[in-house]
Amino acid sequence: MKKFYLIVIILAIATVGLSSKWQDNKDAKPQKKSVSKAKTTKTGKEKSNQQKMMKKLYTNCKTCHTYEYPTKSDPALVNCPRSKMISVFHRPEEGPIIVKMNDIYGKYGPVIFSHRIHSEMSEMSGGCNGCHHYNTTGPVLKCKKCHAEERKREDLSKPDLNAAYHRQCINCHRQWNRNVNCDGCHKLKENDSEQKIAILVNAVSNAQHPEIPHPEKVVYETKYNKGKFVTFFHDEHNKIFGIQCIECHRDENCIRCHDINRLKKGNNISFQQKKIHKTIDEHHKPCVACHQKQSCDKCHKSNIMDRFNHTITAGWALKHYHQTISCNKCHGGKIGKVNRNCSSCHKKWELGNFNHSVTGIILNENHKEIDCESCHENKNYSVKPVCNSCHDDKNYPKDKPGRIKSIRVVSRK
Amino acid sequence: MKEISRRSFLTSIGAAATGSLAISANQALSQPTNILSEDRRGVLVDTSNCVGCRSCEWACKNAHGIDAGDIESYKDRSVFNNMRRPGIDSYTVVNEFSNEKNPLLPIDVKVQCMHCDKPACVSACIVGAINKHEDGSVVWDTDKCIGCRYCMVACQFQIPVFEFEKAIQPEIRKCDFCYERFKKGKLPACVEICPLEALTYGPRNELIKLARQKIKRNPEKYINYIYGEKEVGGTSWLYLASRDFQSIGLPKLNNKPAPGVSESIQHGIFAYFVPPVALYSWLGAMMWITKRKEEVKQEKEIDYV
Ligand code: SF4
Ligand code: SF4
Ligand code: SF4
């Protein structure tokens, strides 16, 4: 009987209980956290400025300074403030050749990392701060300057050394080899020996990045009918115009070259890339850095363009010595800015020792004997010559002081 | 305040009613420990750092006396072809989701017990076999469990699993936040081994601050949401991700703790009394119905992935 009553009571309570939802569990309610405010003796204005700055950097003073009142002369900077502020850039040669990573106790032997090759590659993909992400204004720091070796630690704002290393390496490497296996970089201590390590150190120290293959010519087909094709001669830009790789390739993703699918094909690395959506600006960015002032049809043609030919482009065939010198010998630092003032090199050219036919015009009898300056005002050869000092009705280039030398087109190697 | 008073009112009726009937039992027997320490620990799982190496799976097994096999065998990435759930011999599993932004960097997500601040499993357990400790861990205790599996039904993350194969003394199995290791001052096994420190262990308060900071610094990398901060009243394990959490296998839940339906009845009454089987099934059915209602409601709102 007692049991029966009990069941009835329980059922009644439970039904009431189920129909109303108790969302709050009194026992488990966390107490409101009291916000602790750092004590400070600064004035109101200073404080608000400081707070503004900290908010911007998402950091507080202690993150960068070892004591509370740093001064200009003694900023007391700690090694690793948590915001981007690298200001020192090194050349790859300035960094170490290899880094022997052997700071973490465990079952694996040291990892021999080729710092030089990576830093050389990094020039094409964002520079030092691709890896050395946070730095003070001093020299580039080693990982372990900031990252603690201990995983169990107070400061959780940055990962420990083990994780810092792994994040830097794995996040790139796994993209092209599609695996995250330990044995990609590590050797078990039991399989390692001093001798083997020495051999590896030697091999990695001497390792060079293989020559980067590059295309001769790339043809872009736009979706427009007018000026459908853009032809880009990679080798010309690189070999003839002497443009360094990093002048165009600054923010490349490693994957552009390092992809397992590409490596499989052996040496025939394909440059057919996956289509990535780019904005018009992004498409033009690498070109317009130099071809700033040119009109669209300089590059956008209805046909695939021929190679660069000085004779056609400049109307002046490169021959003999001129074929061997670099562009900027005549054109100054920047290609396109033409300085036709031959006398900057040919200082002694004057009437009598100058064979005018090298310019493409063989002077006729009337003009052979007159001063250079009569036509080339102020000996400025970069502007068109004048006729009106003698002739009222003549005008260059409609009228010429001789005959045009027949030009044989010589293409440059 | 109103709700609390209603609750305490009902509790007191229950206690009064049963108290008069079952006098000799000792209340402390079945009251679970349910500490919500200010200083409780947690783990921040940054899915953008996880590479799916599955070292954590290996370490977890090792730390719990489960045959873990050779760590080399965890290289096998074909396991990612299927969605996996924690099981009796794996308290944690890592699942992989494709990343349309960069197919070469898939998103890997470790799953284990979330160690809820207001654990439904603790509330559901009639005999107090699951306890929440000072470090935030929610741990199942072998001695008391009677195998009713209410905890399995109650857990919104579907974490506890039952050894169905075992006829004698089957156990409920789930991640215990490495409570034994905590007592020895060690990190959870998975946190200790993770080569990427995708799992950051620390005071939960600190982790939330850290997570906020990460989101602020990298707004393109993370969506502005910390999974677990508020879900079902907050969980010790927190997640950051680059896209919405339902698309990486975490259920959409509301911020209210699972209804403490059974709790007051069970802890108030059954503490003194071993009820007949009929009552168990009745309660079970009621719980199932409410849970089902919840699920149906949720299914309407949400697309599960
Ligand atoms: S050990 Fe870390 S990185 Fe590896 S799968 Fe587990 S959580 Fe991810
Ligand atoms: S996730 Fe499930 S098993 Fe873990 S504490 Fe929460 S309710 Fe309990
Ligand atoms: S905290 Fe411990 S029990 Fe939980 S998943 Fe990690 S290793 Fe396993």
Q: Looking at residue B100, which CATH number applies to its domain? A: 3.30.70.20
Query: Do A28 and B257 make contact, defined as CB atoms within 8 angstroms?
Result: yes
Q: Whose CA is nearest to atom 6 of ligand 2?
A: B116
Instruction: Quote the minimal CA–CA distance from B18 to chain A in Å.
Output: 7
> Which domain-ending residue is among A283, A307, A331?
A307
A376 and A303 part of one domain? no
Helix and strand numbers (H, E) in chain A are 15, 7
pLDDT for res B290: 73
In a domain, B299, yes or no: no
**Mean pLDDT confidence for A142-159:** 86
pLDDT for res A46: 63
Cβ atoms A50, A42 nearer than 8 A: yes
A273 and A225 part of one domain? yes
Residues 6+ apart with CB under 8 A from B304: B246, B251, B252
Query: Do A166 and B196 make contact, defined as CB atoms within 8 angstroms?
Result: yes
In a domain, A284, yes or no: yes
> Which domain-ending residue is among A205, A234, A258?
A205
Instruction: Quote the minimal CA–CA distance from A170 to chain B in Å.
Output: 8
Query: Do A170 and B196 make contact, defined as CB atoms within 8 angstroms?
Result: yes
CA–CA gap between residue A318 and residue A324 (Å, rounded):
9
Ligand 1 atom showing the smallest separation from residue B110 Cα: 7
Query: Do B282 and A11 make contact, defined as CB atoms within 8 angstroms?
Result: yes
Residue numbers in A near B273 (CB within 8 A): 6
pLDDT for res B266: 52
A278 and A377 part of one domain? no
* Among the partner residues A20, A26, A152, nearest to B187 by beta-carbon distance: A152
In a domain, B101, yes or no: yes
Whether the per-residue pLDDT at A68 is higher than 80: the answer is no
In a domain, A11, yes or no: no
A272 and A359 part of one domain? no
Q: Is residue B198 in contact with ligand 1, taking CB distance under 6 Å?
A: yes
Q: Is residue B90 in contact with ligand 3, taking CB distance under 6 Å?
A: no
Condensed to tens digits (0 to 9), the pLDDT of residues A7-17 reads 555 555 544 44
Q: Which residue of A has its CA nearest to B209?
A: A157
In a domain, B219, yes or no: yes
pLDDT for res B81: 94
In a domain, A2, yes or no: no
Going by C-alpha positions, the residue among B281, B268, B282, B277 that lies closest to residue B17 is B268
Ligand 1 atom showing the smallest separation from residue B49 Cα: 3
Query: Do A23 and B259 make contact, defined as CB atoms within 8 angstroms?
Result: yes
Condensed to tens digits (0 to 9), the pLDDT of residues A236-264 reads 888 877 788 888 888 887 877 787 776 55
pLDDT for res A13: 54
Q: What is the DSSP string of A320-331?
A: GGGGTS-HHHHH
Whether the per-residue pLDDT at A271 is higher than 50: the answer is no
User: Mutate which of B6, B156, B196 to disrupt the A interface (most A C-beta within 10 Å)?
Assistant: B196
In a domain, A124, yes or no: yes
In a domain, B279, yes or no: no
Instruction: Quote the minimal CA–CA distance from A222 to chain B in Å.
Output: 25
- Which amino acid, one-letter code, is at B277? V
Residue numbers in A near B118 (CB within 8 A): 25, 28
A149 and A188 part of one domain? yes
CATH of the domain at A265: 3.90.10
Residue numbers in A near B4 (CB within 8 A): 24, 26
Average pLDDT value over all residues in chain A: 74
CA–CA gap between residue B145 and residue B253 (Å, rounded):
27
In a domain, B145, yes or no: yes
* DSSP H or E run through A111: strand A111-114
Report long-range pairs for A300-303 (Cβ below 8 Å, ≥24 apart). A300/A222, A300/A224, A300/A226, A300/A227, A300/A228, A300/A229, A300/A230, A301/A227, A301/A228, A301/A229, A301/A230, A301/A231, A302/A226, A302/A227, A302/A228, A302/A229, A303/A229
Query: Locate tokens 């309610």: which residue?
Result: A29
Q: Is residue B263 in contact with ligand 3, taking CB distance under 6 Å?
A: no
Range of the domain at A268: 218-307
Residue numbers in A near B257 (CB within 8 A): 23-25, 28
Query: Locate tokens 């009937």: which residue?
Result: B21
Between A220 and B198, the higher pLDDT residue: B198
User: Mutate which of A150, A180, A183 to disrupt the B interface (most B C-beta within 10 Å)?
Assistant: A180
Range of the domain at B65: 15-260
For residue A34, what is the DSSP state? P
Whether the per-residue pLDDT at A206 is higher than 70: the answer is yes
Residue numbers in A near B132 (CB within 8 A): 28
Helices (DSSP H) in A226-301: which residue ranges? 234-235, 245-248, 260-263, 280-288
Chain A / chain B CB contacts < 8 angstroms:
136
| Geometric angle at alpha carbon B188, from B186 and B191, rounded to 5° | 115
Number of domains in chain B: 1
Q: Which residue of B has its CA nearest to A20?
A: B261
* Band of pLDDT at residue A319, cut at 50, 70 and 90: confident
In a domain, B212, yes or no: yes
> Which domain-ending residue is among A307, A331, A351?
A307
User: Mutate which of A4, A8, A22, A152 to disrupt the B interface (most B C-beta within 10 Å)?
Assistant: A22
| Geometric angle at alpha carbon A291, from A290 and A296, rounded to 5° | 160
Residues comprising chain A, all counted = 413
**Mean pLDDT confidence for A332-340:** 56
% of chain A beyond a pLDDT of 90 = 9
Number of domains in chain A: 3
In a domain, B291, yes or no: no
Ligand 3 atom showing the smallest separation from residue B178 Cα: 2
pLDDT for res B164: 85
CA–CA gap between residue B250 and residue B237 (Å, rounded):
12
Between A19 and A371, the higher pLDDT residue: A371
A260 and A343 part of one domain? no
CA–CA gap between residue A106 and residue A122 (Å, rounded):
30
pLDDT for res A29: 38
Going by C-alpha positions, the residue among B108, A239, B209 that lies closest to residue B200 is B209
Per-residue pLDDT of chain B (305 residues; tens, 9 = 90+): 344 444 444 444 444 444 433 433 344 445 778 889 899 999 999 999 999 999 999 999 999 999 999 988 998 889 999 999 999 999 999 999 999 888 888 999 999 999 999 999 999 998 989 999 999 999 998 778 888 889 999 999 999 999 888 877 888 999 999 999 999 999 999 999 999 999 999 999 999 999 999 999 889 999 999 999 999 999 999 999 999 999 999 999 999 887 664 454 455 455 444 434 455 666 777 777 777 766 666 655 554 43
Residue numbers in A near B283 (CB within 8 A): 14
- Which amino acid, one-letter code, is at B240? L
CA atoms in the 13 A half-sphere facing the CB of A295:
3
Between A410 and B105, the higher pLDDT residue: B105
A371 and A409 part of one domain? yes
In a domain, A20, yes or no: no
A189 and A237 part of one domain? no
Query: Locate tokens 């109307």: which residue?
Result: A315
In a domain, B4, yes or no: no
Query: Do A174 and B51 make contact, defined as CB atoms within 8 angstroms?
Result: yes
Whether the per-residue pLDDT at A201 is higher than 80: the answer is yes
* CA of residue B128 relative to chain centroid, distance: 16
Whether the per-residue pLDDT at A203 is higher than 90: the answer is yes
* Among the partner residues A6, A11, A23, nearest to B257 by beta-carbon distance: A23
% of chain A beyond a pLDDT of 70 = 69
Query: Do A30 and B117 make contact, defined as CB atoms within 8 angstroms?
Result: yes
A112 and A185 part of one domain? yes
Whether the per-residue pLDDT at A365 is higher than 90: the answer is no
Q: Whose CA is nearest to atom 2 of ligand 1?
A: B194
Neighbour tally for A272: CB within 10 Å:
7
